[in-house]
Amino acid sequence: MTSVKCSQCGLINLSTSEFCKRCKASLELEPESASSFVAPPAPEYPVIDDDQPSKCRLSPLRILIVVLVVVFAVWYQFNRSDAARDAQAQKDKEFYQKRAEEDNLRHLGDRR
Ligand SMILES: [Zn+2]
């Protein structure tokens, strides 16, 4: 066996190389003869050939979008929890008011 299959991208590398030529994943000693294994784990990011100039994967626009989404999510979460808290406070207030009225009525009834 003189070749090792990359477990990340499936590229056949020389068994002497420590890292995959394409995706730079460390090559665990997995002989090519073990090609009967079911499905290699899908690469977590699109594989880019070395020949092509690596595109800037984190463009400023994308970062901006992500930041906006995160900010909106946090803002939404805060707003929602505020509203929920207000609703609960209002409920509690009504509950205690009602109970106070009932207590008053009971006291009046006791006095009679
Ligand atoms: Zn690879």
How do the pLDDT tens digits run along the chain, 112 residues long?
Answer: 688 888 889 999 988 888 999 999 988 765 554 555 566 666 677 666 666 555 556 788 899 999 999 999 999 888 888 888 888 999 999 999 999 999 999 888 776 5
Q: How far apart are CA 46 and CA 23, in angstroms?
A: 10
CB 53 within 8 A of CB 42: no
Cα(21) to centroid(ligand 1), Å = 6
- What residue spans define the domains of the chain? 1-43, 64-112
To the question of pTM greater than 0.85 for the whole model, the response is: no
The Å distance, Cα 34 to ligand 1 centre, comes to 16
Ligand 1: centre distance to CA 59 (Å): 24
Q: How far, in Å, from the CA of 29 to the mean position of ligand 1?
A: 13
Cα separations (Å) of 50 from 15, 20, 53, 59?
20, 11, 7, 20
In angstroms, how far is CA 19 from the centroid of its own chain? 29
For the chain, the distance separating the N- and C-terminal CA atoms, rounded to the nearest angstrom, is: 103
